[in-house]
């Protein structure tokens, strides 16, 4: 039971699926392993949990070696992987996180580290491909029912830009018209009052928006089976 004075111990790693929309594609931050096991394969950033850290503190510390942590706009725990075979060298649990970096930033990364479009992944080490794909699922779901878009977008943006971010993350075309209506109705977006002209060629200047809040909020409480309305 819990009080077994004999504490079982095991190595514990943290891993991050760090995602960013770059060049119109959803991309993941990966580093290439030089040593066995999985030499040559690509891996998620991460490392070992230290003695007096929480998992999230550990994740932020380790991520700092790859990207400027201040540039990570959102970090949330995904799942803890525990297959005894997942690491061929030793028993190791790994807790995976989803990290997001706003579009437009280009953090300096180490030599062995690169962004990879999530649709054309190289050979990945361990169970990292599964983790990456489940991170993408989580992102897609939360884009629909929370304000998580703030974590993909720069501080301010036009609707066309935001539409491209959503389309890249969701993997399907998104209509700027309808995106605007949904996000305004939910009061996720604010008009900054500014306007921006597109590069060359004509066109009406676009309204520049920002997200009203940059903390995760559930904005579309699951519609179904909601409590009865109390207004008589």
Residues of the shown chain interacting with DNA in the complex, contacts defined by CB under 7 A = 158-160, 175-178, 180-182, 185-186, 195, 197-198, 200-207, 220, 223-226, 228-229, 232
* Pairing mode, strands 189-196 and 74-81: unpaired
Nearest to 54 by CA among 1, 14, 22, 4: 14
Could you count the other beta carbons within 10 Å of the beta carbon of residue 50? Answer: 12
Asked if residue 193 binds a second copy (CB under 8 A), the reply is no
- Choose, by CB under 8 A, the member of 153, 179, 188, 189 that binds a second copy: 179
Q: Find which of DNA, a second copy, none residue 51 binds, CB within 5 to 8 Å per kind.
A: a second copy
C-alpha span between 162 and 168 (Å, rounded): 10
C-alpha span between 225 and 192 (Å, rounded): 37
**Residues contacting residue 107 through CB under 8 Å, at least 6 positions apart:** 67, 68, 71, 101
Choice between 112 and 194, CB closer to a second copy: 112
Choice between 23 and 202, CB closer to DNA: 202
Q: Find which of a second copy, DNA, none residue 90 binds, CB within 5 to 8 Å per kind.
A: a second copy
- For the bound state, the minimum distance from the C-beta of residue 46 to a second copy, rounded and expressed in Å, comes to 6
Using CB under 8 A, which of the segments 1-9, 100-108, 187-195, 197-205 binds a second copy? 1-9
For the segment 141-170, give every residue that binds a second copy (CB under 8 A). Answer: 141, 143-145, 166, 170
C-alpha span between 99 and 60 (Å, rounded): 10
* Pairing mode, strands 189-196 and 92-100: unpaired
- Choose, by CB under 8 A, the member of 228, 229, 231, 232 that binds a second copy: 228
C-alpha span between 197 and 62 (Å, rounded): 40
Per-residue three-class SS string for 204-215: CCEEEEEECCCC
Alpha-carbon dihedral angle through residues 112, 118, 122, 126, given to the nearest 10 degrees: 80
Choice between 200 and 229, CB closer to a second copy: 229
For the segment 43-82, give every residue that binds a second copy (CB under 8 A). Answer: 43, 46-56, 62, 65, 77, 79-80, 82
Asked if residue 99 binds a second copy (CB under 8 A), the reply is no
Choice between 52 and 111, CB closer to a second copy: 52
Peptide bond into 230 cis (omega under 30): no
Question: Which residues sit at the interface with a second copy, rule CB under 8 A?
Answer: 1-4, 6-13, 35, 43, 46-56, 62, 65, 77, 79-80, 82-84, 90-93, 95, 141, 143-145, 166, 170, 172-175, 179, 182, 220, 222-228
């Amino acid at each position: 039971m819990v009080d077994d004075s004999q504490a079982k111990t095991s190595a514990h790693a943290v891993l991050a699926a760090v995602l960013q929309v770059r060049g119109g594609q959803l991309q993941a931050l990966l580093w290439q392993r030089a040593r066995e096991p999985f030499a040559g394969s690509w891996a998620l950033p991460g490392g070992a949990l230290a003695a007096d850290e929480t998992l999230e503190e550990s994740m932020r510390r380790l991520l700092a070696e790859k990207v400027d942590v201040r540039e990570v706009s959102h970090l949330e725990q995904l799942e803890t992987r525990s297959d005894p075979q997942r690491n061929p060298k030793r028993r190791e649990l790994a807790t995976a996180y989803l990290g997001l970096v706003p579009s437009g930033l280009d953090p300096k990364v180490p030599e062995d580290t690169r962004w990879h479009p999530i649709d054309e992944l190289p050979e990945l080490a361990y169970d990292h491909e599964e983790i990456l794909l489940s991170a993408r699922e989580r992102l897609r779901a939360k884009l629909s029912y929370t304000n998580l878009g703030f974590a993909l977008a720069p501080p301010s943006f036009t609707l066309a830009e935001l539409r491209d971010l959503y389309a890249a993350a969701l993997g399907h075309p998104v209509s700027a018209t309808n995106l605007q209506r949904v996000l305004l109705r939910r009061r996720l977006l604010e008009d900054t009052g500014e306007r921006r002209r597109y590069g060359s060629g004509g066109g009406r200047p676009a309204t520049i928006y920002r997200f009203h809040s940059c903390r995760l909020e559930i904005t579309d409480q699951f519609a179904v089976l909601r409590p009865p309305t109390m207004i008589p």
